[in-house]
């Protein structure tokens, strides 16, 4: 059950993602593609391995000549193949990764053999099947096969695979340019000069760190005063960005001016308020400019609310703009380590610490408490009206570590 007049998390995420399309494509070298998303499926240009290779150190023999003894006639080392065929009764010393000589097809491990001069004989068990220690041609991939799907994020393993498949450059989507606007009369730009009636402006730093792996440029603006004129001026400075993020001023108080400032600036409100806790007053708007659509995300000012809504909305938005195939955070199961009360009508995300099996909710859940956020590595997902839970019950969690690099 969703609170009246509020969107569910899934509906709000769906509406947000319908507003964005992947940004333009560009070709970059493989190392420059790290952290980017493929703009199309990638096919192998070569076969890997390109020929049968040995998977172990030993001796190559013919697969129809496994009884021995054999006369050692040469060596095949990685990068230095044995140059000719060999006959029954012959063997070639072979190293891991070396090309199998023509006519061979089996590798016997060196520890399963006894050598006397140039003659080797079985001292253990021959491989069964004969090709057990052989990396067959095309074992990893064959030329023309799809090796990476469109929208996959290029990490170290994906970059290595692309190069192994014969690619020096990749087509990837441009990462978005974003602006982060910190607003509020109570914010102090310098945390070392903060009066009693002020709080340090932390949200911009926090959100920029979250967004950094998914943005090509981050423009920081603020703290901005709580006036429509100052907020509109800040939005003007951010007009060249693909995505604008504001924090603070998204609720319904007399000094919550993000909505009127956006409307004054020419933006259209897409939706406002979602049935989640913390983070209910999240706002999404769009503005058309020079044939493109900017997306504006208005996040709450309380730091934990800002973080949770950034995790659930900003990061998926950035991934979608960057061309990611999978944009929403992954939910997994854990076992609760402490009792949980029955939940209310809004979906709630509790900060907690996950040890790989159990998750323990932090006792301090106030949306202004950064200490409990910094001490947590998971959000415990409590659906509307979820029943009370006792230690050992299954719950769902979202993991926070590495959130920006999925």
Residues 43 and 169 in one domain: yes
249: confidence class by pLDDT, cuts 50, 70, 90: confident
Residues 227 and 303 in one domain: yes
Task: Please identify, among 105, 135, 165, the residue that sits at the C-terminal boundary of a domain.
Answer: 135
Residues 264 and 344 in one domain: no
Q: Is residue 125 part of a domain?
A: yes
What pLDDT sits at residue 2? 59
Residues 15 and 111 in one domain: no
Residues 36 and 169 in one domain: yes
Determine the Cα–Cα distance for residues 377 and 359; give it in Å rounded to an integer. 9
Q: Is residue 117 part of a domain?
A: yes
Q: Which CATH number do you get for residue 154?
A: 3.90.105.10
Torsion over CA: 306, 308, 309, 311 (sign): positive
Task: Please identify, among 278, 294, 321, the residue that sits at the C-terminal boundary of a domain.
Answer: 321
Contacts with 193 (C-beta within 8 Å, 6 or more apart), sequence order: none
The whole-number average pLDDT for the span 341-368 is 96
Full residue range of the structural domain in which residue 100 is found: 53-135
Tokens of 15: 């509406």
Q: Which CATH number do you get for residue 76?
A: 2.170.190.11
Determine the Cα–Cα distance for residues 398 and 46; give it in Å rounded to an integer. 39
Distance between alpha carbon 34 and the CA centroid of its chain, in Å? Answer: 11
Residue 112's φ and ψ, nearest 5 degrees, are -100, 10
Q: Which CATH number do you get for residue 240?
A: 3.40.980.10
Residues 242 and 267 in one domain: yes
217: confidence class by pLDDT, cuts 50, 70, 90: very high
**How many domains are there within the chain?**
4
Q: Is residue 3 part of a domain?
A: no
The whole-number average pLDDT for the span 29-57 is 97
Residues 360 and 245 in one domain: no
Distance between alpha carbon 246 and the CA centroid of its chain, in Å? Answer: 24
The whole-number average pLDDT for the span 325-330 is 96
Q: Is residue 158 part of a domain?
A: yes
- Per-residue pLDDT tens over the stretch 191-207: 999 999 999 999 999 99
The whole-number average pLDDT for the span 28-42 is 97
Task: With a cut of 60, say whether residue 186 has pLDDT above it.
Answer: yes
Residues 300 and 374 in one domain: no
Task: With a cut of 90, say whether residue 124 has pLDDT above it.
Answer: no
Residues 277 and 378 in one domain: no
Residues 275 and 339 in one domain: no
For the CA atoms of 80, 160, 39, 270, the dihedral, rounded to the nearest 10 degrees, stands at 180
What pLDDT sits at residue 68? 87
Determine the Cα–Cα distance for residues 404 and 223; give it in Å rounded to an integer. 24
- Per-residue pLDDT tens over the stretch 266-279: 999 999 999 999 99
């Amino acid at each position: 059950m969703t609170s009246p007049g509020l969107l569910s998390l899934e509906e709000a995420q769906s509406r947000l993602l319908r507003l964005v399309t992947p940004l333009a494509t560009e070709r970059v070298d493989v190392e420059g593609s790290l952290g980017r998303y493929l703009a199309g499926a990638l096919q192998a240009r070569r076969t890997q391995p390109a020929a049968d290779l040995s998977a172990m150190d030993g001796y190559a023999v013919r697969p129809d000549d496994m009884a021995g003894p054999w006369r050692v006639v040469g060596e095949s080392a990685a990068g230095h193949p044995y140059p000719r065929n060999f006959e029954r009764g012959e063997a070639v010393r072979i190293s891991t990764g070396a090309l199998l000589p023509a006519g061979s097809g089996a590798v016997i491990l060196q520890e399963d053999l006894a050598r006397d001069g140039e003659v080797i004989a079985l001292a253990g068990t021959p491989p069964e099947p004969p090709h057990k220690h052989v990396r067959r041609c095309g074992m990893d991939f064959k030329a023309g096969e799809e090796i990476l799907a469109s929208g996959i994020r290029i990490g170290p393993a994906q970059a290595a695979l692309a190069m192994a498949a014969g690619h020096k450059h990749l087509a990837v989507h441009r990462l978005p340019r974003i602006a982060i606007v910190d607003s509020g009369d109570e914010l102090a730009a310098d945390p070392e000069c903060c009066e009693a009636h002020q709080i340090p402006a932390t949200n911009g730093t926090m959100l920029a760190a979250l967004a950094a792996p998914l943005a090509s440029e981050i423009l920081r603006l603020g703290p901005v005063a709580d006036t429509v004129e100052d907020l509109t001026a800040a939005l003007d400075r951010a007009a060249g960005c693909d995505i604008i993020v504001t924090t603070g001023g998204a609720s319904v108080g007399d000094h919550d001016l993000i909505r009127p400032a956006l409307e004054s600036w020419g933006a259209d409100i897409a939706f406002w308020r979602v049935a989640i806790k913390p983070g209910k007053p999240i706002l999404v708007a769009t503005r058309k400019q020079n044939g493109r659509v900017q997306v504006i995300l208005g996040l709450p000012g309380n730091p934990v609310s800002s973080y949770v809504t950034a995790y659930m909305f900003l990061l998926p938005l950035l991934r979608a703009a960057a061309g990611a195939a999978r944009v929403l955070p992954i939910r997994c199961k854990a076992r609760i380590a402490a009792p949980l009360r029955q939940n209310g009508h809004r979906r709630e995300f509790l900060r907690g610490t996950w040890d790989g099996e159990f998750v323990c909710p932090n006792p301090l859940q106030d949306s202004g408490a950064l200490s409990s956020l910094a001490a947590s590595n998971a959000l415990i997902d409590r659906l509307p009206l979820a029943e009370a839970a006792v230690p050992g019950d299954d719950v769902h969690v979202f993991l926070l570590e590495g959130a920006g690099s999925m």
